[in-house]
Amino acid sequence: MSQIREEVLTANAKYAASFGDKGKLPMPPGRHFAVLTCMDARLDPAKYAGLAEGDAHVIRNAGGRASDDAIRSLVISYKLLGTREWFVIHHTDCGMETFTDDIMRGLLASSLKTATVDASGWHDSGQGPGSTEGNYIDWLTIADNPKSVVEDVRRIKRHPLVPADIPVYGYIYDCKTGKLVEVPEATSAGKAG
């Protein structure tokens, strides 16, 4: 077994040993809210937003972007599981700011190996084969962080399947301090109607 796999299973055994009455938690989030945030390994929504098991939905993807699939989850979150307030939380130093669709497509067309990055940008080993399938994916990269939060909040609010009375708040998590910094334009765009 890989070392990581062993570590995960050991950690899980420890967790399950003190699981207590968490097995009795209901499915709907007890605190009736959802968070859409980035998958970045430095972000731990349970810690930065004070969540315990059963509290809230956390939807994560690269960038914390309001992709069709993130919206699918949010719609299920309110329609079937009763959340009433949503947060969109991007963060400083996001990897999604370091490339564009063209760069990602070029790297993937060159090879499927892990790329490297330095001051001059992303580089591929070129040890193909690569694939042009990347050309068909919108990678939802970020050029301007506050602007991307505003865009995502706006997209969610304007979505025909999202009811007007759900407020959506926009924040940027600061990786240097652990603080959530509001993007006022996003929160204002996300006001419940």
Residues that bind Zn ion (CB under 5 A): 38, 40, 94
| Least Cβ distance, residue 184 to Zn ion (angstroms) | 21
Output 145 or 187, the one with its CB closest to Zn ion.
145
How does strand 33-38 pair with strand 85-91? parallel
Q: Which among 40, 38, 29 is positioned nearest to 66, based on CA atoms? A: 38
Smallest distance from Zn ion to CB 10, Å: 28
Nearer to Zn ion, 92 or 111 (CB): 92
- Listing from the earlier edge strand, what are the strands of the sheet with 168-173? 56-61, 33-38, 85-91, 168-173, 180-182
Under 8 Å between Cβ of 159 and 71: yes
Nearer to Zn ion, 9 or 117 (CB): 117
Which C-beta is closer to Zn ion: that of 95 or that of 167? 95
Smallest separation, CB 39 to Zn ion (Å) = 7
Q: Identify which of residues 142 and 162 has a Cβ nearer to Zn ion in the complex.
A: 142
Residue 140: name the closest of 91, 99, 181, 190 by CA: 99
CB 84 within 8 A of CB 32: yes
Shortest separation between residue 97's beta carbon and Zn ion, angstroms: 8
Smallest distance from the beta carbon of 110 to Zn ion, in angstroms? 23
Phi, psi of 11 (to 5 degrees): -60, -40
